[in-house]
Amino acid sequence: MDYITILGWIACIITIIYTALGLPAQVKKNYQLKSTEGLSLFLFCFLFLTFTSWVVYGICKPDWFIVVPNGLGAIFAFVIVLQILFYTSKNK
């Protein structure tokens, strides 16, 4: 295994940990509180666009080290955007 592959695995694992622990925890917290107070719609929209851009790039390359973790991130960021829209309209 060359050093580029090792770096790919390291980056993939770190991104999966972030997206698999951090974002789902936020989704769960939003659901439990039925509130997204303090979360920025702008930030999460751009987070979703960033993850999605990396997924498209990874598919074109093709590079699964890019596609898999960023695909997970895009899904969770999209869910948070939906929660922000839903809970904001519900609480008004």
Q: What is the pLDDT of residues 46-87, one digit of tens each?
A: 999 999 999 999 999 999 889 998 999 999 999 999 999 999
What is the value of pTM for the model shown? 0.81
Calculated CA dihedral for residues 64, 69, 70, 75, nearest 10 degrees: 120
Among the four given CATH numbers 3.90.320.10, 3.30.9.10, 3.30.450.80, 1.20.1280.290, the one describing domain 3-90: 1.20.1280.290
pLDDT > 70? residue 92: no
Alpha helices per DSSP H over 1-92: 3-17, 23-33, 41-60, 64-90
Alpha helices per DSSP H over 18-40: 23-33
Task: Compute φ and ψ for 41, nearest 5 degrees.
Answer: -60, -45
- End-to-end Cα, the chain, rounded Å: 55
